[in-house]
Amino acid sequence: MRGLVVTGYGGHAGYAYAVARELSKRGVELEIVVPREYPHLLARFREFGVVDAITLPRKPLEPLYKTLPKWILSLLESLRYTRRAYDFVLATGSNFSIPPSLVQRLRGVVVYALEDFKVSRPSKAVYTLHRLGARVFLQWPEQLKIYPDGLVVGPVYEPEIYEPRDEGYILVTTGMLGSPELVEAVLSLDYERVVVQLGDLDPEYYSKRKPQWVFFKYTSDIHKWLAGASVVITHTGNISMTARLAYRKPVVLVYTARHSRIHSLLDAKTLAEKINAVFLERATPSKLREAIERSRKLPAPELPVGAERIAEIITRRGV
């Protein structure tokens, strides 16, 4: 059985990693497509099969009027996959998934799309693919009101790779977009050891202010930092589920200004409730200190493993 996995970036790549791992364990031959603009993803997916990179039509929050040439280029680059035969395509969201999935759908290949954790409204890319005939996997029963014909599989998150331990540092992640206000609030804390993933923000600017802390933009191995963290402070995204459900870490989920343009307040609150994390609508130093201590007292929930269920459904071909 051969499949094409279209990863996307950020949390979408996390979804792809989780499902690709399960499909690979079941002997599925995979080809994986990643955005050329995020080359660190090439290394992440090589263990599962052949990895290729094509153009990302639109970066997060990029104005639409600037993207038409990239949409055309991405579609043309997607035609290279017509030279191969696939049993299925798995698209994990974002605009990146549309051109390769559309090309394969026109060839008659079965397309599966994974919806994000949103409960308030559908993701534009997944909804578009659904209108084109894709079968949609859902993470929560509440999403059936958006996709009545969807398949509820449970939360999809990256599995534990390293043995969880407590090395005494706080991990802060801000995704691809970054969050200046969250980072500024964290900088006011007096903790000795903090590791901060900055996204599109400049590490040099912050490292000058806190030279004893660790700052970086992206990494191909965020699991190394997740495994050793005492507490994880993060935005509304897939990384919060991995930290909480795979590594069983205390999580403080912060609703940031940049991520509010992608996920609604309802989505953020629902996610925090589902994974039993402390939720902050706005980060301030005092609120963060209190939330960190409160998060240590909350038990991690027991929830289904959505990636396993997706792999079972695809390999069974029963849907």
pLDDT above 80 (res 60) = no
pLDDT tens track for 143-152 = 999 999 999 9
pLDDT at 121: 92
In this predicted structure, the answer to whether residue 64 has a pLDDT above a threshold of 90 is no
Q: What per-residue confidence (pLDDT) applies to 110?
A: 96
- Domain positions in the chain: 2-154+305-316, 169-295
pLDDT at 65: 81
Cβ(120)–Cβ(293) below 8 Å: no
- pTM for the model: 0.88
Bigger pLDDT: 263 or 129? 129
- Reported confidence tier of residue 100, pLDDT bands at 50, 70, 90: very high
- What pLDDT score does 319 carry? 46
pLDDT band at residue 63, thresholds of 50, 70 and 90? confident
In the structure, what pLDDT confidence band is assigned to residue 142 with cuts at 50, 70 and 90? very high
Crossing angle of helices 98-106 and 124-131, in 10° steps, is: 10
According to DSSP, residue 199 is labeled T
CA distances to 128, 200, 257 from 182, rounded to whole Å, are: 32, 13, 9
* pLDDT for the residue numbered 157: 95
Q: How far is it, in rounded angstroms, from Cα 319 to Cα 317? A: 6
Per-chain mean pLDDT for the chain: 93
Instruction: Give 129-139 pLDDT, tens digit per residue.
Output: 999 999 999 99
Q: What is the mean pLDDT of residues 17-22?
A: 96
Please provide the distance, in angstroms rounded to a whole number, between the alpha carbons at the two ends of the chain.
16
Provide the pLDDT for residue 318: 44
Kindly report which listed range (38-47, 59-68, 187-196) carries the lowest average pLDDT score. Answer: 59-68
* Sign (positive or negative) of CA dihedral 216, 219, 222, 225: negative
Other beta carbons within 10 Å of 9: 24
CATH architecture type of domain 169-295: 3-Layer(aba) Sandwich (3.40)
**What CATH number does domain 2-154+305-316 carry, 3.40.50.150, 1.20.1440.230, 1.20.120.80, 3.40.50.2000?**
3.40.50.2000
CB 232 within 8 A of CB 240: yes
